[in-house]
Amino acid sequence: MTRSRGFTLIEMAIVLVIITILIGGLAMPLSAQIQARRIAETRQTLQEAQNALQGFAMAAGIASGPSGTAYLPCPDTSGDGIEDRTGTDCSSSSGGVSYGWFPWVTLGTAAQDAWGNRLRYVVISQFAKSGAGGGFHLSSINPPNTLPNIQICSTSSCLPSPQANNVAFALISHGPNGWGAQNMNNPPGNLQAAPTGPDEKENTLNQLPLVMRAPTPPGSTLGEFDDLVAWMSESVLVGLICPPKTSGSGSDCGW
């Protein structure tokens, strides 16, 4: 009479090791796919935020009449998603630039990036000023050198040269690592751990310039970096909101 033979412990261990290797090989590409999808989703969120800012300025200009003022919203500094404005000016600014979080409630857009973090929002204070002398009137932006120069650079030192000058506003997602971000699950002001890389740190300091470059991993000689940054120049924004008249001189903003 023959006996049926089962698996030995060694054979079962070998099978488990093989299964683990196979699962690990599948999990790594799957993880990369998920991360790529989240990055694409966040880029779309940034684009929608840009569109909302443009739409807000256009609506403000239309509401104030033919000779009125088109202006951008102020940043949210209290954490409730609503722009913080004192009278006609942003509640908080430094050197002619206002810093804070994207006012998603005011604009009715997505509240967060794909990792659950708020978008940081930087804008020239003059462009967010409502009322007389603010916004996009010719008198408020001419001559151009009277305005702060928001620069987008590839390093915190802005060397060798900036990627963009004369930026009207910028939006920052703090990326997959979320260092320095305001997560939607945390109370306002309770930020994620501060970044260690100099370029990521620059994007959290409420100062210029802002940094956008290719991502680098932890341990890189350049420092860890995975921020996503979107911006619009002053000339592009003005051209979109105040296109030239079809006849005569000037623009449809009454300039």
Instruction: Please give the torsion angle defined by the CA atoms of residues 142, 145, 150 and 156, in that order, rounded to the nearest 10 degrees.
Output: 170
For residue 24, is it within any domain?
yes
Total number of residues shown for the chain:
255
For residue 165, is it within any domain?
yes
Q: Which pLDDT tens digit goes with each residue over 63-73?
A: 665 556 789 99
Range of the domain at 83: 12-241
For residue 254, is it within any domain?
no
Q: Does the N-terminal peptide bond of residue 75 adopt cis geometry, omega within 30 degrees of 0?
A: no
For residue 94, is it within any domain?
yes
For residue 80, is it within any domain?
yes
Rounded Cα distance, 228 and 42, in Å: 8
For residue 253, is it within any domain?
no
For residue 247, is it within any domain?
no
Rounded Cα distance, 26 and 242, in Å: 52
Q: Which pLDDT tens digit goes with each residue over 80-138?
A: 999 999 999 999 899 999 999 999 999 999 999 999 999 999 999 999 998 777 776 54
For residue 3, is it within any domain?
no
Write down the mean pLDDT value for the chain.
86
State the pLDDT at residue 143: 46
Q: Side-chain half-sphere of 80: how many Cα atoms within 13 Å? A: 5
**The whole model's pTM is what?**
0.84
Rounded Cα distance, 248 and 251, in Å: 9
State the pLDDT at residue 212: 97
Q: How far apart are the first and last CA of the chain?
A: 103
How many structural domains are present in the chain? Answer: 1
What are the structure tokens assigned to 82, written together?
């609503």
Is 80 exceeded by the pLDDT of residue 149?
A: yes
Rounded Cα distance, 55 and 145, in Å: 26
Are 148 and 96 in contact by the 8 Å Cβ rule? The answer is yes
Are 215 and 32 in contact by the 8 Å Cβ rule? The answer is no
State the pLDDT at residue 27: 58
